[in-house]
């Protein structure tokens, strides 16, 4: 009996690994190895010669360069403005997608049409496309200017605060465009909520407003967490993101090269992972909190 159990377990292990084995190989070759190599690069002077790659170990020199040279300043500036934008954009996207999902969850006609409108940007938004739209004023800049909202903001707020807000408003539509997937995720979450809970609440005298805060929002809490992480990753990996552009351009810059570019990538990695960890701590679903 015992032997049978052992072999069965072994068999399950073997079959399981035969299914995911291909991923493990890929992970080793295209993730783990480059990840570790990148760590070495970030502390080396890397040059590609005709004969091969030349590495000179320089310890933390590359990281110092980031805070000393012009190219580094540009990177740090891009990173700071990315963070500032993230702080504004993530809440905007999450609130907007909850709002749209709640509206779409009402018993209305033409729901399918509205749903496909709000998902449309996911299909078309690539880096160059978004870039063109924003630079041609289609991202909302011309829309906002024609109603002189921007002037009002600039006149009433102090410049430090007005700057980021104007930047957000001039591409507000594009920011909304990043919420297609999140809307669908919230919508499917809403559809799982039992209608009877709302009816019970109504009988107890709760209005629509109270039901939203007391029933809808709490039942979406774990999806809000998922969507916040998704949005952060989406914005952090968007190919026209200034930080990413900066890292890429430094790869081929004679003054910096692969070494400094790798160091920048590691700084970016640390920042993004830090943000993800912080949000995970702040917004993790309740049932996780219970476990610890």
Name which of residues 91 to 110 contact other proteins (CB under 8 A): 100, 103-104, 106-108
Nearer to other proteins (CB atom), residue 7 or residue 142: 142
| Binder among 6, 67, 127, 288 for other proteins (CB under 8 A) | 127
Closest CB to other proteins among residues 153, 245? 245
Select 66 or 185, whichever has its Cβ closest to other proteins: 185
C-alpha span between 288 and 213 (Å, rounded) = 22
Nearer to other proteins, 166 or 265 (CB): 265
Nearer to other proteins, 72 or 139 (CB): 139
Q: Name which position in 83, 233, 253, 288 contacts other proteins (CB under 8 A).
A: 233
What does the chain look like in DSSP terms, one character per residue?
-HHHHHHHHHHHHHHHHHHHHHHHHHHIIIIIHHHHHHHHHHTEEEEEETTEEEEEE-TTHHHHHHTTSHHHHHHHHHHHHHHHHHHHHHHHHHHHHHHHHHHHTSS-TTHHHHHHHHHHHHHH--HHHHHHHHHTTTTTHHHHHHTTHHHHHHHHS-HHHHHHHHHHHHTHHHHHHTTHHHHHHHHHHHHHS-HHHHHHHHHTT--HHHHIIIIIHHHTHHHHHHHHHHHHHHHHH-TT-HHHHHHHHHHT-TTTHHHHHHHHHHHHHHHHHHHHHHHHHHH--HHHHHH-
The residue among 259, 249, 266 whose CA lies nearest residue 45 is 259
Specify whether the CB–CB gap between 206 and 261 falls below 8 A: no
Shortest reach from residue 88's CB to other proteins, in Å: 18
Question: Is residue 132 near other proteins by the rule CB under 8 A?
Answer: yes
Question: Looking only at residues 75 through 94 of this chain, which bind other proteins when binding is defined by CB under 8 A?
Answer: none
**Residue 158 or 282 having the CB closest to other proteins:** 282
Q: Taking the CA atoms of 92, 96, 99 and 102 in sequence, report the sign of the dihedral they define.
A: negative
57 binds other proteins (CB under 8 A): no
The interface with other proteins within residues 172-231 (CB under 8 A) comprises: 173-174, 176-177, 181, 184-185, 187-189, 191, 199, 202-203, 208, 223, 226, 229
Judged by beta carbon, residue 108 or residue 155, the one nearer other proteins is: 108
The residue from 84, 215, 251, 284 that contacts other proteins (CB under 8 A) is: 251
Q: How far is the CB of 158 from other proteins (least distance, A)?
A: 28
Instruction: Find out whether 140 and 172 touch, Cβ atoms under 8 Å.
Output: yes
- Any contact of residue 112 with other proteins (CB under 8 A)? yes
The binding track of 10-49 with respect to other proteins, each residue x by CB under 8 A or -, is --xx-xxxxxx-xxxxxx-xxx-xxx-xx--x----x-x-
Tell me the backbone φ, ψ of residue 69, rounded to 5 degrees.
Answer: -100, 165
Does the protein bind other proteins through residue 148 (CB under 8 A)? no
Q: CB under 8 A: which stretch of 69-77, 152-160, 211-219, 260-268 binds other proteins? A: 260-268
Contact 201, 215 (CB under 8 A): yes
- State the nearest-atom distance from the C-beta of 160 to other proteins, in Å: 28
Q: How far is the CB of 41 from other proteins (least distance, A)?
A: 6
Work out how close the CB of 221 gets to other proteins at its nearest, in angstroms, rounded to a whole number: 13
Question: Site for other proteins (CB under 8 A): how many residues?
Answer: 97
């Amino acid at each position: 009996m015992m032997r049978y159990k052992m072999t069965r377990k072994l068999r399950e292990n073997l079959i399981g690994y035969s299914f995911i084995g291909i991923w493990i190989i890929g992970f080793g070759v295209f993730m783990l190895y480059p990840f570790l190599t990148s760590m070495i690069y970030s502390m080396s002077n890397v040059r590609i010669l005709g004969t091969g790659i030349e590495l000179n170990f320089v310890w933390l020199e590359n990281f110092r360069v980031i805070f000393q040279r012009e190219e580094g300043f540009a990177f740090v500036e891009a990173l700071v403005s990315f963070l500032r934008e993230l702080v504004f954009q993530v809440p905007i996207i999450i609130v907007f997608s909850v709002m749209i999902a709640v509206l779409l969850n009402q018993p209305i006609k033409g729901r399918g049409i509205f749903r496909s409108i709000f998902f449309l940007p996911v299909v078309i938004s690539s880096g160059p496309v978004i870039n063109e739209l924003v630079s041609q004023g289609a991202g909302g800049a011309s829309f906002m200017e024609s109603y002189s909202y921007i002037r009002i903001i600039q006149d009433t707020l102090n410049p430090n605060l007005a700057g980021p807000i104007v930047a957000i408003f001039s591409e507000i539509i594009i920011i909304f465009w990043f919420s297609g997937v999140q809307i669908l995720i919230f919508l499917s979450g809403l559809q799982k909520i039992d209608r009877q809970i709302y009816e019970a609440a109504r009988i107890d005298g709760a209005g629509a407003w109270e039901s939203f805060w007391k029933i809808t929002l709490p039942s979406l809490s774990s999806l809000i967490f998922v969507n916040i992480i998704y949005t952060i990753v989406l914005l952090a990996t968007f190919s026209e993101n200034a930080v990413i552009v900066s890292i890429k351009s430094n790869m081929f810059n004679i003054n910096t090269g692969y070494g400094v570019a790798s160091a920048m990538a590691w700084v970016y990695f640390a920042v993004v992972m830090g943000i993800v960890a912080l949000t995970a701590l702040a917004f993790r679903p309740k049932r996780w909190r219970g476990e610890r």
